Amino acid sequence: MNPPDHPSILLTKESDSPRYREWIRRHNPHVRVGDLSAFPDEVHDQLFSRAHGIIFTGGEDIHPGLYGKPEALPRCFPPDSVRDERELHWLRTAEESRMAILGICRGMQLINIARGGSLVVHLPEDHPSDVPHALPDRDAEHVVRIEQDSLLHGAVRGKIATVNSWHHQAIDRIAKGLRVIARAEDGVVEAVEGIDPKKFLLGVQWHPERMRQRSLPTHIAQSFLAEVHAVRDRAYHTMSLSLFQS
């Protein structure tokens, strides 16, 4: 039997920027990275069958009706309901396939909504503070406090890290099956992880693919890729056993 192929990762939407794949490939130049949104629907199942990890990327606001606040739509940037529904379906598929899952910005919020959580609709009005979560023309920066017993533990010395920030929404009610592992100084949720130790599920509100600081985005990429490799190896082992038993 041939050795396993290089691991494969799916992006939910890359938009016009290659930053996500460049960030991942800086840490493993051999990994295969595909943008799901660039492929027709009829091949998505095939892509999932060959993938070992998925990154839910940043982007538009999620429709507030999906977390029980439809009246808040006028306070949101225009959502893409087609994208919302597709990505909720992809998240279910990824969890059923036991893929490594990473959510970035909107992606973390989607994971929380999919499990029954909700969002703060507009931070400047609903959670005013002196912490800059967004600037008009560039990323803001602020400090986050990281829980020691978490997937982010060891990424920085101590519990404090500086992250970039460009969002006007945040997690409000945390969903079942998730726990908060980082917060900003004003209490805004900045990172979550799944409570099942057998599955890699990490969400961050910041954008590690475009951070100037290196230790935290490197830790996230390496942790995610380590699990992607583990998923690939388990799939290969399962296939090997089935061939011998047939």
pLDDT tens digits, one per residue of 169-218: 999 999 999 999 999 999 999 999 999 999 999 999 999 999 987 899 99
pLDDT at 242 over 70: no
Q: In sequence order, which residues have a C-beta less than 8 Å from that of residue 231 and are 6 or more positions away?
A: 7, 52, 53, 98, 99, 100
What's the chain's length in residues? 246
Stretch (H or E) spanning 32:
strand 32-35
Which one from 133, 142, 207, 229 is the annotated catalytic residue? 207
Question: Helix axis angle, 106-114 relative to 81-96, nearest 10°?
Answer: 70
Strands (E), 105-224: 119-120, 140-146, 160-165, 170-171, 178-184, 189-194, 201-204
Rounded-to-10 torsion of CA 205, 39, 101, 147: -10
Which one from 14, 95, 190, 209 is the annotated catalytic residue? 209
Q: Give catalytic status of residue 60 as yes or no.
A: no
Give me the chain's average pLDDT, please.
Answer: 93
pTM over 0.85: yes
Q: What is the mean pLDDT of residues 62-82?
A: 98
Q: Give catalytic status of residue 105 as yes or no.
A: yes
- Residue 4: its pLDDT value, please? 62
- Residue 156: its pLDDT value, please? 82
Q: Give catalytic status of residue 209 as yes or no.
A: yes
pLDDT at 158 over 60: yes
Q: Which two tokens stand for residue 10?
A: 């799916």
